[in-house]
Amino acid sequence: MSPLAIVRVAGRALVRNKMRSALTSLGIVIGVGAVIAMVAIGEGARRRVEQTFEAMGTNLLVVLPGSATSGGMMGGTGTQATLTWADLAAIRKECKAVAAAAPLLRAGKVVQSEDRNWTTSIVGTSPDYQTIRNWRIARGHAFDDGDVEASAKVVVLGETVVDRLWGPGYDPIGQSVRIQAIPFQVIGVLERKGQSPVGQDYDDTILMPYTTFQTKITAGLGGYVNGAIFVSAVAPDQTERAQDEITNLLRDRHHLLPGADDDFSVRNLSEIAAAQQQGTAILTALLAAIAAVSLLVGGIGIMNIMLVSVTERTREIGVRMAVGARSWDVLAQFLAEALALSLAGGMIGIILGFAAAYEIAAHFHWPFVIHGSVLLISVGFSALVGIVFGFFPARKAARLDPIEALRFE
């Protein structure tokens, strides 16, 4: 029997029992659909986490000053100024794994346009900050080293601040805003960055040169960085090395004896990102495993129905053998039927699975990610299910004795 004839015969047999075929396939539809949806959802969640951490900055490390202790009370990280501008310069110069370092001075202040005002976070920093945070300018331009040197009264605004002071879509370049009654010229607007992993609005901020910040906003202690130092490592796999280098350098510079506590802390945000990503990866694997179980159940459903079908069609098998079907022809027919059921179910399952994944991704504002490999694996897997679970019933059919089969009531 030619392959085409086998497919036709199998197809006819399935069409003869439409309802049963549909219900049998349903198990595979659900199984494959669940696997596709779970893998796509997991992949989307992973991408979402990745994007979130990309928004935070690339290869980011944060150096925070130590805690002040007064009367036995530990004041908490950052309550004591221990980082000096010389420390910052040394980190830039001596740590090989550090690509860039920038100060981060922060204060909450009211900022005014001509007719509105808004309280936001004012950040004093250096031009490197935007590189470290992976944060580009949408309109206008950033301040440069010359502005830092001159303590220029220039600011770069986040989109939220633009929205609040003028309204969405307004182009504020060249306008001036007042902070503590001092006018600043708006030279740029930052690209929209969205929310941080903990829901903080990145775009609700104003950047200015740190020198300007020190002279016009808050002075702080002379010689000390009154805030944090943001550092980016040269590569994602260099963050730990950068962390070690900074720690050793600062301990040395602060003359800490071996055994003494650090009077600063270095936070490695890449580690947090990696941990989160591993978490989603485990979750994805778990979901996919559960979905795979339903695919297995679907496969057993096919085997079950095929066994019933072989018993029910014993006479048909007998007739086919009597008119010249070889064992192999019968085996091929029943295998083809099981394969057709599982492949048809697999196709529908892929469509439904993607539809479900798309809906969920849209609902949670995740990126919708399809890997071609998932498609291939699903098709391959449903075919495998058909062959594995179809083989036993098909062999049973092929081994029937035609005389017995014809006599079967």
Partner 1 sequence: MSALIELEHVSKVYVSGETEVRALDDVSLAVPAGQFVAVMGASGSGKSTLMNVIGCLDRPTRGIYRLAGRAVGDLPPNELARIRNRLLGFVFQSFNLLPRTSARENVELPLLYSGVSARQRAARALAALDRVGLADRASHTPGQLSGGQQQRVAIARALVNDPKLILADEPTGQLDSHASMDLMRLMQELVRGGITIVLVTHEPDIGHCAERVIAMRDGKVISDAPQVPVKAAA
Chain residues binding partner 1 by CB under 8 A are 1-2, 5, 8-9, 12, 16, 315-316, 318-329, 402-403, 406
Q: In whole angstroms, how close is the CB of 402 to partner 1 at the nearest point?
A: 5
Please provide residue 229's backbone torsions phi and psi, each rounded to the nearest 5 degrees: -115, 125
Q: In whole angstroms, how close is the CB of 329 to partner 1 at the nearest point?
A: 6
Cβ closer to partner 1: 115 or 409?
A: 409
Cβ closer to partner 1: 181 or 323?
A: 323
Please provide residue 48's backbone torsions phi and psi, each rounded to the nearest 5 degrees: -65, -45
Q: In whole angstroms, how close is the CB of 324 to partner 1 at the nearest point?
A: 2
Cβ closer to partner 1: 7 or 352?
A: 7
Cβ closer to partner 1: 352 or 406?
A: 406
Q: In whole angstroms, how close is the CB of 18 to partner 1 at the nearest point?
A: 10
Cβ closer to partner 1: 371 or 399?
A: 399
Cβ closer to partner 1: 94 or 316?
A: 316
Cβ closer to partner 1: 165 or 321?
A: 321
Q: In whole angstroms, how close is the CB of 367 to partner 1 at the nearest point?
A: 49
Cβ closer to partner 1: 24 or 226?
A: 24
Provide the residue type at 125 as one letter. Answer: T
Q: In whole angstroms, how close is the CB of 391 to partner 1 at the nearest point?
A: 20
Q: In whole angstroms, how close is the CB of 344 to partner 1 at the nearest point?
A: 19
115 contacts: CB under 8 Å, gap ≥ 6? none
Q: In whole angstroms, how close is the CB of 406 to partner 1 at the nearest point?
A: 7
Give me the residue label for tokens 């945000």.
269
